[in-house]
């Protein structure tokens, strides 16, 4: 057999083996056979470089590194999904569709919601020409060089009659077993391991060096098409997925077509029951109107289609053993018990610590050291112990004893009558509180001092160079360059970053002080209401309570803070060392359709972050608050709004969802 024929045979054989292994889960060759075949193909292509093609299986190993990614504008936006957390939410979704269409939907396509990284693949005449991340939905990053290394992404489509241009969308994932094997290899070689498959997939896909990506066990699973031209596709979503499978793509074999929302809810329950056995991480199921013409008719709002919804699963829980309880001291002196756990994989990450909140929670749970406990982790929420399995006790368990003195400075622990939290009362002498206060002062939403992180602050504090935040503004290059792992250039950059932060805003400065109960929104409200620091410092509690988002408790904290001699001296030092901000002219009337309104944003938003929503409200003349009260005008509530939504309902306040909010923004523009 001549070399040209052998090369063609090997390419065909390797593509077939790869598809059988990655797409169909039915291997036709051993790893050793595959390795021998690709080694032979690589050898032949080296001898005959004129026969090398970009679509050859050997080209999945990756090319030379890039210096940066380029941007890609999606021809059709890559939309987010609205969420359903119950059967009632799913029923409401169905009712909205019926109301808009004037007819019932006779088929939904259901598929697992993969917990990975969205990717768009563009094919022209059956050849992969571009791969892009989702980005912000409109613009993503070109990761074609990395996508080519993913074994189950077809470089050339199989079969015929595909559109001349075809955009296939899907999720890049790492199967759990492959993830564990990869982490084991990294651990043995002394490299950093990944927290979870999703993070590993995201980091791998965005490598500038595709040779690194090629070593990661990434897999692509198609879930839809975007832009197409030329040959028409089937007129149902389910049939499109089957067509994609025929063209060489991996599609979840759990995809199903159902007749109504009740059957879709039953499908979700069935997938939830299988969740632990599904090889890739999922966080719910996606339910889509199956008819493509109906999808087009329904359209989209903002960044979410009207024809699809994500039926999210409840928080994941696992059982593990509580090995010990440590007590941490925070910025305000709050002493928080932290459970040290036998590491357990839950909610997509390996958890070894969980909060026990306070002494009351320990008593409520009746938890003891060495107990077996149920740990819950929902999304990015801090893991928590939710249940004690008392039936597993063997008699060696030990009571948790809350400290009577601060575990850091041995000062008295106090508890306010109306609080569940116990605190160290040595505010200015407890090193834990001082260090935490420094970290808060330099944080992004406070003074935003770039390059001054926790480790540097700890070193500065321990070496006596910084006692409080005012000392930061007296640091010299010579002092910093003498520290461990701090060269002269880094020291110069740090001193410049500190100097640059001197010019700030009153709201940021107030937030940076770390006054109890004063978050970003409250700091902004105080700044806008009073206009200058002296006015806030001299205000009575009654005057403070006139500010939106400031109730009696917050007012008392602010009042007491500014009445302390040590506070006055600290503020004076900061001002003497150049910290300043423009005075706000409170005589200037705000303008906009939300003038005079106080909004509370709660729950999860899809089209924008809560911070972005709050900024939009303020830009239109409104004010934002972090808590619901009788002063609240409107509550913008997304899924998972919880107690704030309940309180708003009990007070009879105006409550709107994100879709209504976006309409108001649109009408105001």
pLDDT single digits (tens) 338-382: 999 999 888 667 899 998 988 888 988 899 999 999 887 754 567
Domain architecture of the chain: domains with CATH: 3-61 (1.10.287.610), 73-311 (3.30.470.30), 316-414 (2.40.50.140), 431-500 (1.10.150.20), 506-576 (1.10.150.20), 598-668 (3.40.50.10190)
Q: What is the pLDDT of residues 432-477, one digit of tens each?
A: 999 999 999 999 889 999 889 889 999 999 999 999 999 999 999 9
| Residues of the chain below pLDDT 70 | 19-33, 35, 59-67, 195, 302-303, 314-316, 347-348, 378-381, 418, 587-591, 640-642, 669
pLDDT at 20: 67
Q: Please provide the DSSP assignment of 553-574 as one string.
A: HHHHHHHHHHT-HHHHHHHHHH
Instruction: Provide the whole-model pTM.
Output: 0.49
554-563: b (≥16 Cβ within 10 Å) or e: bbebbbebbe
pLDDT at 529: 87
pLDDT at 500: 94
Label the pairing between strands 634-637 and 598-602.
parallel
Q: What is the pLDDT of residues 216-269, one digit of tens each?
A: 999 999 999 999 998 999 999 999 999 999 999 999 989 999 999 999 999 999
Q: What tokens appear for 543 in the block?
A: 């005057």
pLDDT at 222: 96
Helices 552-562 and 565-576 meet at what angle, rounded to 10? 70
Known active-site residue 113: yes
Q: Any alpha helices (H) in 487-605, and if so which ranges?
A: 488-500, 506-512, 520-530, 533-538, 541-544, 552-562, 565-576
Q: How far is CA 408 from CA 73, 359, 413, 544, in A?
A: 53, 18, 11, 34
Q: Which of 4, 113, 489, 644 is catalytic?
A: 113
pLDDT at 387: 84
Q: How far is CA 119 from CA 141, 168, 223, 635, in A?
A: 10, 8, 10, 35
pLDDT at 63: 46
pLDDT at 45: 86
pLDDT at 31: 52
Q: Which residue, chain included where needed, has tokens 């792992």?
A: 485
Which residues share a beta bridge with 142? 132
């Amino acid at each position: 057999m001549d070399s040209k024929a052998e090369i063609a045979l090997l390419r065909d054989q390797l593509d077939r083996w790869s598809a059988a292994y990655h797409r169909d889960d039915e291997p036709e060759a051993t790893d050793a056979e595959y390795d021998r075949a690709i080694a032979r193909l690589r050898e032949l292509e080296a001898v005959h470089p004129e026969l090398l093609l970009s679509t050859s299986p050997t080209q999945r190993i990756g090319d030379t590194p890039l210096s940066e990614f380029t941007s890609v504008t999606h021809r059709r936006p890559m939309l987010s999904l609205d969420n359903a957390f119950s059967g009632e939410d799913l029923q409401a979704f169905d009712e909205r569709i019926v109301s808009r269409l004037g007819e019932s939907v006779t088929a939904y396509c259901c598929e697992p919601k993969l917990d990975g990284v969205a990717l768009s693949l563009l094919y022209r005449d059956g050849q992969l020409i571009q791969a892009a991340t989702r980005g912000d939905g409109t613009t993503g990053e070109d990761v074609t060089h990395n996508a080519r290394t993913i074994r189950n992404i077809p470089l050339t489509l199989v079969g015929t009659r595909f559109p001349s241009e075809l955009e296939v969308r899907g999720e890049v994932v790492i199967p759990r077993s492959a993830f564990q094997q990869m982490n084991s290899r990294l651990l043995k070689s002394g490299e950093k391991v990944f927290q979870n498959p999703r993070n590993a997939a995201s980091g791998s896909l965005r490598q500038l060096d595709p040779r690194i990506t090629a070593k990661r066990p990434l897999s692509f699973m198609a879930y839809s098409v975007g832009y197409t031209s030329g040959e028409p596709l089937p007129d149902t979503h389910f049939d499109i997925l089957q067509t994609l499978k025929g063209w060489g793509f991996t599609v979840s074999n759990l995809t199903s077509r159902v007749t109504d929302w009740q059957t879709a809810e039953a499908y979700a329950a069935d997938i939830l029951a299988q969740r632990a056995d599904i090889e890739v991480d999922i966080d719910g199921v996606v339910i889509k109107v199956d008819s493509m013409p109906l999808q087009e008719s329904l359209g989209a709002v903002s960044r979410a289609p009207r024809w699809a919804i994500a039926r999210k699963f409840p928080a994941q829980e696992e059982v593990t053993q509580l090995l010990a309880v440590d007590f941490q001291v925070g910025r305000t002196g709050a002493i928080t018990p932290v459970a040290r756990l036998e590491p357990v994989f839950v909610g997509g990450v390996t958890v070894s610590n969980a909060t026990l909140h306070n002494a009351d929670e320990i008593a409520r749970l009746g938890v003891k050291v060495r107990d077996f406990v149920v740990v819950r982790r929902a999304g990015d929420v801090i893991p928590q112990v939710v249940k004690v399995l008392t039936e597993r006790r063997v008699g060696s368990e030990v009571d948790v004893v809350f400290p009577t003195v601060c575990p850091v400075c041995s000062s008295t622990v106090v508890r306010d009558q109306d609080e569940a939290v116990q605190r160290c009362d040595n505010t200015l002498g407890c090193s834990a509180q001082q260090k935490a206060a420094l970290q808060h002062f330099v944080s992004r939403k406070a003074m935003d001092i770039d390059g001054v992180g926790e480790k540097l602050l700890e070193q500065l504090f321990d070496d006596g160079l910084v006692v409080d935040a005012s000392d930061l503004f007296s640091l010299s290059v010579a002092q910093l360059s003498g520290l461990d792992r701090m060269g002269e250039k880094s020291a110069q950059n740090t001193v410049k970053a500190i100097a640059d932060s001197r010019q700030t805003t009153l709201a940021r400065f107030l937030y940076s002080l770390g006054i109890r109960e004063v978050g970003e929104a409250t700091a902004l409200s105080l700044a806008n209401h009073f206009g200058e620091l002296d006015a806030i410092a001299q205000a009575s509690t009654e005057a403070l309570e006139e500010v939106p988002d400031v109730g009696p408790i917050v007012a008392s904290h602010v009042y007491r803070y500014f009445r302390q001699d040590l506070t006055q001296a600290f503020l004076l030092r900061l001002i003497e060392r150049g910290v300043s901000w423009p005075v706000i002219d409170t005589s200037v009337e705000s303008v906009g359709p939300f003038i005079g309104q106080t909004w509370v944003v709660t729950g999860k938003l899809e089209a924008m972050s809560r911070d972005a929503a709050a900024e939009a409200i303020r830009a239109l003349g409104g004010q934002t608050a972090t808590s619901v009260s009788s002063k609240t005008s409107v509550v913008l509530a997304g899924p998972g709004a919880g107690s704030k939504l309940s309180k708003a309902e009990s007070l009879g306040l105006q409550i709107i969802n994100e879709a209504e909010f976006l309409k108001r923004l649109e009408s105001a523009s």
